[in-house]
């Protein structure tokens, strides 16, 4: 029973990060290979605050969220203002994540590459479910607000969106900051659930797993990525498939989805009316 | 000390340039960043290692084998993971995700099948050094530098002089037009992947001889990607210049400042360069088409 509980908790924590990236990639149309870095910032900030300074858990979590959001501005402002090509942007964030990993591995407060053990295990399943529920509600409201509509317009056609008075830079930055906040929350919850964090937990592998769930679930859908992340986390865990084969499968799934079903498993279910022809056309 | 660092930097830079050329070649013709190239380089190193330690071949055969293997692997990769997307005219982002998937797949396949052990090449070069102006430079560094430049030079000549090279350059300009003029674009793309993969196999072998062979060594190729971006993706000259600059600067930083800061430094260069000069030193315009 406790095994199932722990898998459910981990899956829910992961879902929060996936939801964040779904806002950024699925609805705003920008790819990121570095969102695990934002999880890392959230995890380290909230863990360090409770570990060294005895800050109460909710406050520490909030600080982690704020810190990863602020960090997203550091990389987001210059790169989004420069209007990099989408793959260059993804690479810039990847570089940011790798640089962050090197920094985390060499600070004394993070205990370097050995990781930080003994973080108080405050995260419980009810807390996680509550957070996830709040996140889904916030995401839904955001996407239905005019900001969300602006994000979708930017994804569909940046030129047309700009013509109709949408500020490209501001819309993308807002979406990035929100998605980073989600990842920060997810990281903070993870740190206080596992009670141990290490820089290698927040590298490209983790970023790829989040991205795989978003792509597999469907770009432009909230429910799709959530289902996909549950399938990706809970199933292999429950079937006790070895960690390494899981990564092999991730790679294969990414390729197969691009080849055969680029719109994702569930497609863009919630907003299908916005699409005339889903995939396969150049923009 | 200074001269020795310079030569080490130049030889590392030469290998970076070899890898960066692979990125640039593919980028110039398909307009996407082929992340799977790193895995091709890694597998090239494994092939070279297998030839060298299992069959005890001489360096020449090892290099030739790794080049052939890398080339075939790259062609296969294109055939299975990109061709369908290409025919569908999918956005370059889809190609990139597919490439990412390939890279994750190949890397972890090696983990699962061969294991995460670090392997060393047999000693091809006894640690001989040449004394030059009072500082010692290793023969291996000189050899790697010379061979890298030779291979890139041969590629440049091939592209500039041969009929097929002209077709490749035409494809870089305009694929649609090129196919209208009777060039088989599928074969053209396969050829480009073959060339890039062969250079990747060569670079992988050099990296393996220089350091060690292990599954995540494809990560070094992130540096090659940075080098390609510094020089301007899609430009061969840019890839060479970018590779050499990055190699030399990195070696100096790790020799005189700190080897830990080296990686932070290269990624910072990458971000700063992308922001200030998205086209790199010699690249074509890369801004989002708005």
Mean pLDDT throughout B199-213? 87
- Report whether pLDDT(A278) > 80: no
Q: Do the beta carbons of residue B30 and residue B95 sit within 8 Å?
A: yes
Rg (CA), chain A: 18
| Contact indicator for A16, A68 with CB cutoff of 8 Å | no
pLDDT digits (tens, 9 = 90+) for B166-204: 888 888 777 777 778 877 888 889 999 999 999 999 998
Most confidently predicted of A30-34, A165-169, B118-122, B285-289: A165-169
Biggest CA pair distance of chain A: 56
* Cβ contact B94–A262 (<8 Å): yes
Cβ-nearest to A98 among B80, B93, B263:
B263
Query: DSSP readout, B72-139?
Result: HHHHHHIIIIIHHHHHTT--HHHHHHHHHHHHHHHHHHHHHHT-S--B----SS-S-EEEETTEEEEH
- CA angle in degrees (0–180, nearest 5) for B273-B276-B282: 65
Q: How confident is the model at residue B285 (pLDDT cuts 50, 70, 90)?
A: low
Q: Tell me what the mean pLDDT of segment B248-272 comes to.
A: 81
Q: What percent of chain B has pLDDT over 70?
A: 93
Is the CB of A84 inside 8 Å of chain B's CB atoms? yes
Cα–Cα distance for residue pair A279/A258, rounded to 1 Å: 10
- The sign one gets for the Cα dihedral B202, B206, B208, B209 is positive
pLDDT band at B288 (very low <50, low <70, confident <90, very high): very low
> Which residue, B117, B102, B143, B69, is CA-closest to B213?
B117
| A-B C-beta contacts closer than 8 Å | 143
Distance from C-alpha of A68 to C-alpha of A196, rounded to nearest angstrom: 19
CA of B280: which chain A residue's CA is closest?
A88
Residue A247 has which token pair? 């990564």
Note the pLDDT of residue A37: 94
Average pLDDT on A203-211 reads: 84
Q: Rounded to an integer, what distance in angstroms lies between the CA atom of residue B84 and that of residue A77?
A: 36
Q: Answer with the residue of higher pLDDT: A71 or A253.
A: A71
Burial A216-243 (b: 16+ CB within 10 A, else e): bbbbbbbebbbbbbbebbbebbeeeeee
Cβ <8 Å between A95 and B226: yes
DSSP structural state of residue B213: B
Is residue B103 within 8 angstroms of chain A, CB to CB? Answer: yes
Give me the helices (H) in chain A, please. Answer: 2-21, 35-53, 57-81, 86-106, 125-144, 146-156, 158-163, 168-194, 204-217, 223-238, 243-260
What is the mean pLDDT of the segment spanning A73-90? 83
Determine the pLDDT at residue A191.
94
Does pLDDT of B253 surpass 70? yes
Q: What is the mean pLDDT of residues A184-201?
A: 93
The pLDDT assigned to B261 comes to: 75
Beta-strand relationship, B129-132 and A196-197: unpaired
Give B1-21 pLDDT, tens digit per residue.
777 888 888 888 888 888 888
Extended strands (E) in B117-217: 129-132, 135-138
The reply to whether A159 touches chain B by the CB within 8 Å rule is yes
Distance from CA of B162 to the nearest CA of A (A): 32
CA A114/CA A63 separation, integer angstroms: 24
Under the banding of pLDDT at 50, 70 and 90, the label for residue B284 is low
For residues A254-275, average pLDDT: 67
Over residues B217-243, the mean pLDDT reads 80
Confidence (pLDDT) at B32: 83
User: pLDDT tens for residues A215-242?
Assistant: 888 888 888 888 888 887 776 766 666 6
* DSSP letter for each residue of A238-250: HTT--HHHHHHHH
Contact B93 A86 (CB under 8 A): yes
Q: Indicate whether A282 pLDDT > 70.
A: no
pLDDT band at A243 (very low <50, low <70, confident <90, very high): low
Q: Is the dihedral of CA A187, B220, B191, B102 positive or negative?
A: negative
Chain B segment 26-45 residues within 8 A of A by beta carbon are 32-33
Check CB contact of A215 with chain B, cutoff 8 Å.
yes
Q: What is the least distance, in Å, from the CA of A280 to any CA of chain B?
A: 5
What confidence score (pLDDT) does residue A273 get?
42
Instruction: State how far residue A223 is from chain B, nearest Cα, in angstroms.
Output: 21
Please report the residues numbered 119 through 158 in chain B whose beta carbons come closer than 8 angstroms to any beta carbon of chain A: none
Average pLDDT of span B21-29: 87
Range name among A96-110, A168-182, A185-199 with the lowest pLDDT average: A96-110
pLDDT at residue A82, rounded to an integer: 79
Residues 38-77 of B with CB under 8 A from A: none
Cα A42 to Cα B278: distance, rounded to the nearest angstrom: 30
pLDDT of residue A68: 96
Contact A232, A220 (CB under 8 A): no
In the stretch 11-50 of chain A, residues with CB closer than 8 A to chain B read 31, 33
Among A85, A95, A251, whose Cβ lies nearest the Cβ of B271?
A95
List A197's β-bridge partners, or say none.
A116
Six-digit token string for B138: 């290793």
CB contacts, 8 Å: B276 with chain A = 82
Whether residues B263 and A31 touch (CB distance < 8 A) is answered with no
The ipTM assigned to this model is 0.81
CB B287 within 8 A of CB B48: no
Q: Does A92 touch chain B (CB under 8 A)?
A: yes
Q: Is A273 exposed, middle or buried (0-12, 13-18, 19+ CB in 10 A)?
A: exposed
Shortest CB distance from A87 goes to which of B88, B93, B268?
Answer: B93
Distance of CA B139 to the CA centre of its chain: 22
Residues of A in contact with B258 (CB under 8 A): none
Mind telling me how many Å the CA of B97 is from chain A's nearest CA?
7
CA distances from A89 to A92, A172, A192, B177 (A): 5, 12, 31, 30
Inter-chain touch B101–A244, beta carbons under 8 Å: no
Contacts of A99 in chain B (CB under 8 A): 263-264, 267-268
For A83, the closest of B33, B88, B287 (CB atoms) is B287
Q: Do A92 and B274 touch (CB under 8 A)?
A: yes
**Closest CA of chain A from B218, distance in Å:** 13
Question: Pick from A11, A283, A9: which is nearest to A155 by CA?
Answer: A283
pLDDT of residue A43: 95
Q: How far apart are CA B20 and CA B238, in angstroms?
A: 9
Cβ distance A85 to B287 less than 8 Å, yes or no, reads yes
With contacts defined as CB-CB under 8 Å, which chain B residues touch A86? Answer: 93, 288
- The per-residue pLDDT of chain B, averaged, comes to 83
Predicted pLDDT of residue B69:
94
Give me the pLDDT at residue B161, please. Answer: 86
């Amino acid at each position: 029973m406790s095994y199932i509980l722990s898998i459910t908790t981990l899956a829910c924590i992961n879902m929060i990060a996936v939801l964040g990236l779904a806002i950024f990639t699925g609805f705003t149309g920008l790819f990121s290979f570095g969102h695990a870095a934002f999880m890392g910032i959230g995890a380290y900030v909230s863990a360090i605050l409770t570990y060294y300074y005895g800050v109460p858990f909710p406050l520490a979590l909030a600080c982690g969220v704020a810190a990863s959001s602020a960090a997203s501005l550091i990389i987001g402002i210059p790169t989004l203002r420069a209007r990099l090509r989408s793959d260059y942007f993804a690479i810039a964030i990847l570089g940011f994540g790798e640089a962050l990993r090197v920094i985390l591995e060499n600070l004394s407060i993070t205990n370097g590459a050995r990781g930080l053990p003994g973080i108080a295990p405050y995260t419980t399943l009810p807390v996680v479910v509550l957070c996830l529920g709040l996140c889904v509600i916030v995401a839904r409201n955001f996407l239905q607000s005019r900001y969300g509509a602006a994000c979708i317009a930017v994804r569909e056609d940046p030129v047309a969106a700009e013509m109709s008075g949408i500020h490209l830079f501001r819309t993308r930055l807002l979406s990035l900051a929100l998605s980073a906040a989600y990842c920060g929350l997810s990281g903070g919850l993870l740190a206080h659930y596992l009670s141990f964090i290490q820089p290698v937990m927040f590298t490209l592998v983790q970023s790829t797993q989040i991205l795989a769930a978003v792509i597999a679930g469907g770009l432009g859908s909230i429910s799709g990525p959530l289902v996909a992340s549950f399938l990706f986390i809970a199933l292999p865990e429950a079937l006790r498939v070895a960690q390494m084969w899981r990564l092999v499968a991730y790679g294969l799934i990414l390729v197969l989805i691009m080849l055969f079903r680029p719109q994702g498993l569930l497609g863009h279910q919630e907003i299908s009316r916005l699409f005339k022809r889903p995939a396969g056309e150049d923009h | 000390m200074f001269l020795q660092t310079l030569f080490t930097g130049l030889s590392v830079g030469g290998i970076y340039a070899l890898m960066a050329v692979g990125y640039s070649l593919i980028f110039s013709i398909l307009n996407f960043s082929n992340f799977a190239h790193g895995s091709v380089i890694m597998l090239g190193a494994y092939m070279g290692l297998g030839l060298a330690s299992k069959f005890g071949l001489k360096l020449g055969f090892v290099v030739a084998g790794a080049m052939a293997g890398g080339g075939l692997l790259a062609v296969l990769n294109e055939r299975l993971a990109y061709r369908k997307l290409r025919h569908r005219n999918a956005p370059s982002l889809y190609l990139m995700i597919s490439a990412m998937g390939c890279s994750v797949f190949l890397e972890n396949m090696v983990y699962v099948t061969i294991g995460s052990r670090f392997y060393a090449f047999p000693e091809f070069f006894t640690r001989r050094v040449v004394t030059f102006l009072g500082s010692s430079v290793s023969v291996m560094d000189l050899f790697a530098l010379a061979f890298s430049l030779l291979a890139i030079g041969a590629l440049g000549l091939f592209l500039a002089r041969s009929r097929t090279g002209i077709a490749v350059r035409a494809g870089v300009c305009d694929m649609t037009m090129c196919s209208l003029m009777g060039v088989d674009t599928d074969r053209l793309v396969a050829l480009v992947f073959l060339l890039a993969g062969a250079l990747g196999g060569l670079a992988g072998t050099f990296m393996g001889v220089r350091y060690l062979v292990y599954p995540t060594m494809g990560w070094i190729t992130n540096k090659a990607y940075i080098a390609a971006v510094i020089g301007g993706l899609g430009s061969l000259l840019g890839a060479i210049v970018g590779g050499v600059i990055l190699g030399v600067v990195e070696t100096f930083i790790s020799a005189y400042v700190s080897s830990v800061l080296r990686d932070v430094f290269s990624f910072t260069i990458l971000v700063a360069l992308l922001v200030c000069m998205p086209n790199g030193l010699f690249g074509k315009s890369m801004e989002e088409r708005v």
